[in-house]
Amino acid sequence: MKQHSEIGAMLAEHEFLRGMSSKHIALMEEFTSVDTFHPGDYVFRAGEEAEYTYLIRSGRISIEIYDPQRGAVLLETIAAEKVLGWSWLVPPYKWCFDARAVEVTRMLCLNAERLRQAGELDHEFGYEFHKRFTGVFAERLRAARLQLMDMYGPLT
Amino acid sequence: MTLTTLDAPMSPLPYRIRQVTWENRDTFSFALAPAGEGSCERFLPGQFNMLYVYGVGEVPVSISGDPAEGDMIVHTTRYVGNVTKAMSRLRADQMIGVRGPLGNHWPAGEAKGKDLLIVAGGIGLAPLRPLIYEALRRRSDYGKIVLLFGTRSPDDMLFRNELRQWRSRFDMDVQICVDRAHQDWFGHVGVVSSLIPRAGFDPYLTHAFICGPEIMMVNTVEALIKRGVSEEAIFVTMERNMKCGIGLCGHCQLGTAFICKDGPVFRYDEMAPWLTIREM
């Protein structure tokens, strides 16, 4: 019971969930665990089942793509108070990139299947959760487009 | 008697290249000293010089050195056009013409007692480096000093020695962000504005100084305003097609301002209306 209330407090204070109702926080407590990843540990790899979504409490995770000619290419790093992973939202629920801990990283791990079920059963919860994710999509898409334009490169 | 830029604003003075330093594969710094007697013109952080490659042409180049260093003046540029390409072929002991220092400067005095946030993108670190030297010299004038530097990749980083020194200080926070990297990079990857939400400065008591590609500056300003920094406390440095450097030719006019004479440093709210007009 004590463990649940600690996890509930951690969920409630995470930037991604700030302001969410205590009812919904209590709902997520039921399927949230805490995990620690050490530098070099893979949180997930491309092609694996997307079983969790992660809320970073501390540390940093790099999103990478592996190319046989170039090796692992770092696309983005995600730091504390940010959310990691959305492939669990879209069928076939498989990760598209690798995620690796750059430094010791503590995360809240939310079970993806239970999240999807909770969203189907409680649309208010589902809408609130998706609304927050939409903000993350928009922010990451914008950043990716800016990175794509190679703005520090020479003008051609 | 030595002529200065004030006496003959369109006449370059002869300077000798003392040292050429390649910062990365396409960016280099020149340390220059007057060819004759006398010392270098004093400059303020943010100012620039027109550098003249004899027989080729003249371009504006940021002064990137330490303002307190009187016997040499350092400039940093990237070879992108005919003049800078010719410049990149010059070697130590060769001559180059200098007009300046020109333009206004970073209003660091206004930031006294406040946190100093410096956001640089790519070669935009060059005109900010003198400000950093000066701010560290007057360290007790400021609260926190935070440098956020965005660049293309770890190989494209400028001023590695200084970045290493600044990062090792206990009174300055330096964060570097690259667009792409390999696994041997332990810093941030992403856009430099993504560092702003968690950077250690007080948004209500901060002066922000930004230099980089215009799109990076706009994106950074947006993140700063979202964090709570007021538009009046944000300063950017603008780049346009500068030719004469003294507000006569009009090539660099943006709205009601001549970038070379009224700038290149502007308070963001004064420049913001013009940035969204594509024809400008």
DSSP label at residue B54:
T
B253-275 pLDDT tens trace = 888 888 888 889 999 998 888 87
Cβ–Cβ < 8 Å for B92, B18 = yes
Closest-CA distance of chain B to residue A72, Å:
6
Residue indicated by tokens 């999103």: A63
Q: Is residue B228 part of a domain?
A: yes
Q: Are residues B180 and B98 in the same domain?
A: no
Q: Is residue A42 part of a domain?
A: yes
Answer whether B188 sits within 8 Å of A81, measured CB to CB.
no
B278 pLDDT above the threshold of 80:
no
Cβ–Cβ < 8 Å for A58, A80 = yes
Q: How far apart are the first and last CA of chain B?
A: 42
B13-71 pLDDT tens trace = 899 999 999 999 999 999 999 988 777 788 999 999 999 999 999 999 999 999 998 78
Task: State how many domains chain A has.
Answer: 1
Task: Specify the CATH number for the domain of residue A117.
Answer: 2.60.120.10
Closest-CA distance of chain A to residue B200, Å:
14
Task: Specify the CATH number for the domain of residue B232.
Answer: 3.40.50.80
Phi, psi at residue A47, to the nearest 5°? 95, -20
B234 pLDDT above the threshold of 50:
yes
**Which structural domain range is residue B67 located in?**
13-102
ipTM of the complex: 0.85
> Which pLDDT band, with edges at 50, 70 and 90, does A154 fall under?
confident
Q: Are residues B17 and B55 in the same domain?
A: yes
Cβ–Cβ < 8 Å for B100, B9 = no
Cβ–Cβ < 8 Å for B32, B72 = yes
The sign of the torsion formed by the CA atoms of B130, B136, B137, B143 equals positive
- Nearest Cα neighbor of A93 from A126, A134, A131, A51 is A51
Q: Are residues B114 and B96 in the same domain?
A: no
Residue after which a domain boundary falls, among B78, B102, B126: B102
Answer whether A150 sits within 8 Å of B150, measured CB to CB.
no
Q: Are residues B43 and B135 in the same domain?
A: no
CB-based contacts of A55, cutoff 8 Å, min separation 6? A11, A14, A16, A17, A82, A83, A84, A107, A108, A110
A52-111 pLDDT tens trace = 999 999 999 999 999 888 889 999 999 999 999 999 999 999 999 999 999 999 999 999
Q: Which amino acid is at A153?
A: G
Q: Is residue B222 part of a domain?
A: yes
Q: Is residue A142 part of a domain?
A: yes
Q: Are residues B83 and B185 in the same domain?
A: no
Q: Are residues B85 and B119 in the same domain?
A: no
Residue indicated by tokens 């070669």: B123
Interface contact B35, partner A, CB < 8 A: no
Phi, psi at residue B75, to the nearest 5°? -125, 150
A135 chain-B contacts, CB cut-off 8 A: none
Mutate to test the interface with B, among A66, A152, A156 (most CBs of B within 10 A): A152
Task: State how many domains chain B has.
Answer: 2
Q: Is residue B258 part of a domain?
A: no
The sign of the torsion formed by the CA atoms of A143, A147, A149, A151 equals positive
Interface contact B91, partner A, CB < 8 A: no
A1 pLDDT above the threshold of 50:
no
Least confident of A121-130, B148-157, B213-222, B248-257: B248-257
Least confident of A44-58, A105-119, B120-134, B180-194: B180-194
Q: Which amino acid is at B49?
A: N
